[in-house]
Amino acid sequence: MSTIKKLQRKIKIDFKNEKILLQAITHKSFDPINNYENLEFLGDRVLGLVVSKKLYELYPNEKVGSLDKKLASLVNKNKCLEIGNSLNLKEFIITGNSKTRNNIVENKIISDCCEALIGAIYLDKGFEVSKSFILKLWKNLINDAETTFIDAKTQLQEYSLKNYKILPIYKLISNTGPRHKPNFKVGVKLKNSTYVYAIGSSKKNAEQSAASELLKKIKHK
């Protein structure tokens, strides 16, 4: 069975135009022209719209600032990586200068391909199918947002002040990607700890994601 057929079986969606799906899992190192980058751009917007609408429906009386924080906690590189890993996308992604998949697939590529996959589904099957796909995969994350996510930076700040009497230390590691799709990598640490890193579409989002990851690490000590 071909890679494309296996992926369609995995996501339970049959494509009319399989070339779009192939493009969604092709890295620019393999094909500089027909790769996932434009689909990633589209998928990011579709994902943001679907999750934003769901949050609007779930929290009609919520303040905009709180909704924005919930959205940032749900639509980011770390969550896309989590979903991408749940779909085992690493096994389908095409990288390098040959059709072999022995290349190391970085987490960022998995995250990007998750968004590109959403973009491909939207182009081939339309908004309703892509919406159903997103809500099915993000269902638990959205439910968890109600009970666990307030503001990761605030939670981490309170924890740090209570236990160490100082604020967490944030460090901007890099700012890469095109102007329309920047990627900020941020590290955060507490006193006597090592940095925990996360990526976001803005420095603010990256800091929130990094704080969230460090809080998870603290809880699992």
Question: Which residues are catalytic, by number?
Answer: 44, 115
Query: Are the CB atoms for 34 and 45 separated by under 8 Å?
Result: no
Query: Are the CB atoms for 36 and 26 separated by under 8 Å?
Result: yes
Those residues with Cβ within 8 angstroms of residue 197's Cβ, 6 or more apart along the chain or in another chain: 173, 185, 186, 187, 210, 213
∠ at Cα 71 (70, 75), nearest 5°?
Answer: 125
- The sign of the dihedral angle between the CA atoms of 2, 4, 10, 14 is negative
The DSSP bridge partners found for residue 168 are none
Please report how many Cα atoms fall inside a 13 Å half-sphere around the Cα of residue 169, on the Cβ side: 9
Residue 99 three-state SS:
coil
Q: How far apart are CA 196 and CA 153, in angstroms?
A: 13
